[in-house]
Every structure is written in C-alpha cells, then in structure tokens.
Amino acid sequence: MPHLVLDRISIHYDGHPAVERASIDVAGDDFVVLVGRSGCGKTSLLNVAAGLVTPVRGTATINGRPISAPGSDRAVVFQNDALFPWLTARENVAFALRLRGIRPAERARRADELLALVKLADAGDKHIWELSGGMRQRVGLARALAAEPQFLLLDEPLGALDALTRERMQTTLLDLWTASHAGVLMVTHGIEEALVLATRIVVLAPGPGRVVRTFEPDFSRRYAAGEAIRAIKADPAFATARGELTDAIFEGEAA
C-alpha cells in the first residue's frame, strides 16, 4: 500500500523555527486531517509533503523514497485554486489529462467520468466563470484526480465556501476518497469537518509548531459503510469527540 511519511520534521524560515519534530504518517487508505491554531505549521507540513518546502531536519518519504520535489504521485489542491476561467469545466480537467499524455479522443470521455465523480456530470460545457464557488472547487478536485495520484494534499479546500455548500462538499470528499483509492492529507479550520472526514486527526500547537495530540475517530468509516451523515452527527459520541478535539486545539492558549 502507498505510504507517505513525515518523520520528525523541523522547518525553519530565515533561521526561525516554524515546526519542530513533527511526525505524520499517511497510508494509502487514510484520511489524515491536520488541525490547530493559525501559524502552527499546517501549511508548512503539507508543503513538505508536496515537495515545495525542504525541512532542516527529519525525513519526508513516499513509498520509502525521499520527497525532494513535486511529483505526479501527489496532487495538491489549495483553497482558491486557479482554474483557467476561459475554458470549460471539461477542458480544465482534460488539460490535466493532456499533461499526462492521454490521447485526445480519450480525454473528453475521461474528463466526463471525473466530473461525474465530483457530481458535476451536467456542467462539462460550462465555463469556469459560470460556476459557483462550490462547483469550481469540485472542478479543482476532478482536475487533481485526473493525475491519478496516490495521495491528495488539500489545504483548506472548503475554506472559501458558504456553510451549506461546505457541508455538501464534505460528503463529496468522502465519496472521492472512497472512489479514488488515494490517501488524503488535508488541512482544515473546521472542527466538525475534521471529525466527519478524518480517519486520523493530528492536532498541532504553535510556538514553534508541534504535534500535541492525535485522534482516530470512526465517523468517516461509518459514513463509508453506509450510515447517513445526519445520523452520525446526531450521535452523542460525535458531540463528545467535538468537545475533546476543541479542548485539545485550545489547550495552553492564553485566555
């Protein structure tokens, strides 16, 4: 099984420590979510996994090989990801397929499959500027999946969406995770979002950034096994987990 490992990673910027000895392990069927207050190093750690930031200490590997640059085994989606506004949704996804050397005749068919996977089956002909924020983010995910990555790296991918759209996108993400067989490493500010999505939650604290707790909730696996998301959120165990996670995030914060 694919395996992404950040082992005792320390990150400095201009000689100042931003992250100290953080370890994060993502297996190919994991959905790992990083949470923590602003500035605790979530984006920095995701960027190490992406091959965009080099740690001063520690090792980052994918399937045992050192990560030293971006690669097609990892696809990254940021909060406001740049799509080509003058192209249609289908053309945006097909562009990623072209980069992979997929034949033109095959591209449109495969792009439509990917759009269907993100529940945009009818939007292939729409231009990006015609789509809502949530739909654009779905196109971004379809484009990321076009690379058939082993790992999806997501930095607050739902952060710019309104609450209702965001809630719907959470189940879309879970469906994608199940269908794509990609491991996920995702950053979020949302406490409920972390609980709904994660097989493992890694809580970071700032000053410098470090791992303080991990949780292994079972809510996303319950959803994958067929339980309704509303029923899961109404479970008293969900409220208990929310309280514990909130405490872990704000522990040690000056009042």
Residues near ligand ADP (CB under 6 A), total: 11
Convert the chain into a string of H (helix), E (strand) and C (coil): CCEEEEEEEEEEECCEEEEEEEEEEEECCCEEEEEECCCCCHHHHHHHHHCCCCCCEEEEEECCEECCCCCCCEEEECCCCCCCCCCEHHHHHHHHHHHCCCCHHHHHHHHHHHHHHCCCCCCCCCEHHHCCHHHHHHHHHHHHHHCCCCEEEEECCCCCCCHHHHHHHHHHHHHHHHHHCCEEEEECCCHHHHHHHCCEEEEEECCCEEEEEEECCCHHHHHHCCCCHHHHHHCHHHHHHHHHHHHHHHCCCCC
Residues near 223 by beta carbon (within 8 Å), at least 6 away in sequence: 171, 174, 196, 229, 232
Number of residues engaging Mg ion in binding (CB under 5 A): 2
Q: Nearest approach, Cβ of 180 to ligand ADP (angstroms)?
A: 24
Backbone angles phi, psi at 183, to 5 degrees: -75, 150
Q: Based on the shown chain and the rule CB under 6 A, indicate whether residue 249 belongs to the binding site for ligand ADP.
A: no
User: Measured between alpha carbons, how far is 123 from 102 in angstroms, rounded to an integer?
Assistant: 22
Residue 186 forms beta bridges with which residues? Answer: 33, 154
Residue from 4, 35, 40, 142 in contact with ligand ADP (CB under 6 A): 40
User: Which of Mg ion, ligand ADP, none has residue 86 at its interface (CB below 5 to 8 Å by kind)?
Assistant: none
Is residue 39 near ligand ADP by the rule CB under 6 A? yes
**Residue 18 binds which one of ligand ADP, Mg ion, none, with CB within 5 to 8 A depending on kind?**
ligand ADP
| Nearest CA among 48, 56, 57, 58 for reference residue 14 | 56
Residues 166-205: x where in contact with ligand ADP by CB under 6 A, - otherwise, as a string: ----------------------------------------
Stretch touching ligand ADP by CB under 6 A, among 39-47, 165-173, 178-186, 243-251: 39-47
38 makes contact with ligand ADP (CB under 6 A): yes
Q: Is the Cβ of residue 39 or residue 133 nearer to ligand ADP in the bound state?
A: 39
Smallest separation, CB 223 to Mg ion (Å): 26
43 binds Mg ion (CB under 5 A): yes
**Cβ of residue 236: shortest distance to ligand ADP, in angstroms?**
31
Question: Shortest gap between Cβ of 24 and Mg ion (angstroms)?
Answer: 15
Site string for ligand ADP, 208-227 (x = CB under 6 A): -x------------------
With CB under 5 to 8 Å by kind, the binding choice for 38 among Mg ion, ligand ADP, none is: ligand ADP
**Which window, 40-48, 75-83, 105-113, 126-134, contacts ligand ADP (CB under 6 A)?**
40-48
Contacting positions for ligand ADP (CB under 6 A):
13, 18, 36, 38-44, 209
